[in-house]
Structure 1
Amino acid sequence: MGAVENALDNKEHRLPGEAVDILKSLATNWGDVLDPNELQVIRLKGAMTNQVFQIKWPTKTEDVSRKVLVRIYGEGVEVFFDRDDEIRTFEFMSKHGQGPRLLGRFPNGRIEEFIHARTLSASDLLDPEISALIASKMKEFHDLDMPGPKNVYLWERLRNWIRVAKSLSLPEEAEAFCLDKIEEEIPILEKEFSRAYQCIGFCHNDSQYGNIMIDEETNSITIIDYEYASYNPVAFDIANHFCEMAADYHTETPHILDFSKYPGLEERQRFVRIYLSYSGNEPSDDEVELLLQDVEKYTLVSHLFWGLWGIISEHVNEIDFAYIEYARQRFQQYWSRRPALLGSVGASSESVTDGSCAT
């Protein structure tokens, strides 16, 4: 998950020595930095997987600074994704003008180009004009021809995560979150949702507002942070984006979700119609409705995905975030929405389908 908002912090020692060496070398090579050793380190708030810093140097041009981004990988989070895959994705996106350039790597992090654009806020996702730009950008992202196998990774990832969550959790925690029942749910969802007609594309899988930037001069959208990116059903990626409208990670209680902000039917229809129109062809009402139905069902998978992420993160990540409470809300939403979206398909007990399992 992404990072926005900053608080000044000039303590260079927060950065690994290898990173500082690369930064000073970059500044020296640029030639317009007043003093490569005089770097300002600004911690960016809101990241929930990595630590992210903006680095600034004064230049010979008054009121102009050189800036880069330093990303220090969170310890233990390799359970969520393959870092080598993420770097390959990052480099591919850079070459195709889809994101920041990679400027340097060190053992536990990297240095990226600083994009001169504004990171979105939670309220931006509810803005119809910005939402329309995101819909088009998401379709462009999904259509990328990423090298390698184009297999759906969602179900394998969920099976891995439930195993890890169960291995890390105390017995009472596993019971409280009904992890055994959730493990039974995954093959049910996979069978129910794996239809021949569904569209598979290269998905971001974490399209929350902190991972989306806008250049307000050109109205161009950039999607950043590709740690969770993989081929998946595009309906899952759209569903995940809709669910993120319930979140605001920059409040006093960043883990609290407000699902009353989940987009209404007209908003969802507008987003999906713009998404399907990106290639230049006007979609039929039936095409819009079919994708909308799939998106709604995949919100269930999004809840399981990030619920399991929350449980694992509680045990492996030291970032200050109420991961367990976040997970509780995602599971609660899963069980409460399941009857309406799946009916009695694979339901194992009344206590599960009435939403009481994760309370």
Structure 2
Amino acid sequence: MQALSASVIRRLGGGSFMSVAGSSRESGRLPREVKGILQSLASGWNDVADSKALQVIPLKGAMTNEVYEIKWPTRAGEPARKVLVRVYGEGVDTFFDRTDEIRTFEFMSKNGQGPRLLGRFPNGRIEEFIHARTLSASDLRDPEISALIASKLREFHDIEMPGPKNVTLWDRLRKFLNAAKSLSSPEESKSFCLDKMEEEICILERRLSGNYQRIGFCHNDLQYGNIMMDEESKSITIIDYEYASYNPVAYDIANHFCEMVADYHTETPHVLDFSKYPGDQPGDLEVEQLVQDVEKYTLASHLFWGLWGIISARVNVIDFDYMEYSRQRFQQYWLTK
């Protein structure tokens, strides 16, 4: 682990985490219009035996959406035909702009990045089912897999996304802070030191806004559940672009490193183990500078997801201790600072 962060950074600089929750033949949970789109899609595939004989498998672990694997029986000897249906969650307007996220997904789909877009409906979409393995928490700390992720993330940062290329981090932090304050009791605000956060954001922005920093298109949520790997080709696919935007590349790397301390598939998914944060062993001046920037941007990452947790505790019904998660992120912020 000591050399992991530097080796990753050399390649870079120089969550909806899902698992099968159980299967069901009942498709009543899907919006009516979705069934029609799915049947229309399947009717155009010669290998599908019956377009109406779809199987719906809910997938668990996604933090903002309902996600389903859809399967159809195929003709003898052929694998089942599959797609993914994503039904957008409620109460996420504070976190990101759904219109921007859809625009990003469509652009990525058209340019061979991530799954192909197969269909849309008012509150969701139908995606290509990627036949690859979603990574686990331990995969992020595997040096070989980490190197593959680094190469893919550098490619991601070089994407020329249409539209403004302004850094979004600081405005988002302030938006999150205002929302967290409005949703918190006086006791909670005091416990989380929310009244001090505006000053902390200003300090970080002043110290981390140097002209020398590279700005790129960033994922901003590169936890293990948003990374898939083909076991045969070892190719990496980055998915779920809800938080994607232009930001300092060092922030995206810092945020990814912070995700190495999490395992969202345990009995206590909100508990973080900061001893698993990667060490660094820079070997040249350029890498050393980026390592230093990444370390500083971990502070911004802790603030971002700490505020996110406070808001999520009010708007999300998923079984996850968001407030305790926030406490850990803020505690690590003050310890690191």
**2:310 maps to 1:295:** no
Match of 2:327 in 1: 328
Aligned mates of 2:78, 2:112 — CA distance in 1: 28
Match for residue 99 of structure 2 among 68, 84, 108: 84
Moved more, 145-154 or 18-27: 18-27
Name the residue aligned to 2:111. Answer: 96
Deviation at 1:63, TM superposition (A): 5.2
Q: 1:31 aligns to what?
A: 46
- Quote the offset at 1:264 in angstroms: 1.4
How far did residue 189 of structure 1 move? 0.7
State whether structure 2 residue 165 is matched by structure 1 residue 134.
no
* Separation of aligned partners in 2, 1:14 and 1:320: 20
**Aligned counterpart, 2:131:** 116
SS of match in other structure, 1:103: strand
Query: What residue in structure 2 maps to residue 46 of structure 1?
Result: 61
**d(CA) in 1 for partners of 2:136, 2:76:** 31
Instruction: Indicate whether 1:230 and 2:245 are aligned.
Output: yes
SS at match of 1:115: coil
- CA offsets per residue over residues 110-166 of structure 1, 9 Å max, x none? 111001111100010011110000111111000111111111010011111100111
1:173-207: CA deviation from partner (whole Å, max 9, x where unpaired): 11111111112211111011000100000000000
Deviations, residues 225-258 of structure 1 (Å, cap 9, x unaligned): 0000000000000000000000011111111111
Deviation at 1:52, TM superposition (A): 1.2
- The answer to whether residue 19 in structure 2 is matched with residue 5 in structure 1 is yes
TM-score normalised by length of structure 1: 0.88
Residue ranges of structure 1 left out of the alignment (5+ in a row): 270-283, 339-359
SS at match of 1:42: strand
Q: Partner of 2:5 in structure 1?
A: none
Whole-angstrom CA distance in 2 between matches of 1:51 and 1:331:
29
User: Residue 105 in 1 paired to residue 104 in 2?
Assistant: no
Which residue of structure 2 lines up, in the alignment, with residue 211 of structure 1? 226
- 2:77, 2:325 → 1: CA distance? 45
Q: Distance in 1 between matches of 2:55 and 2:176?
A: 38
Aligned AA (2:21): A
Q: Which ranges in structure 2 are unaligned for 5 or more consecutive residues?
A: 1-14
Give the SS at the match of 1:77: coil
Matches within 5 A, 1:194-273: 194-266=209-281, 269=282
Letter of the structure 1 residue corresponding to residue 42 of structure 2: A
Task: Report the Cα distance in structure 2 between the residues aligned to 1:322 and 1:63, rounded to whole angstroms.
Answer: 43
What is the CA distance between 1:31 and its match in structure 2?
Answer: 2.7
SS in 2 for 1:8: coil
Partners of 2:48 and 2:42 lie apart in 1 by 6
Higher mean C-alpha displacement, 319-328 vs 60-69 = 60-69
Is contact 2:17-2:224 (8 Å) kept?
A: no
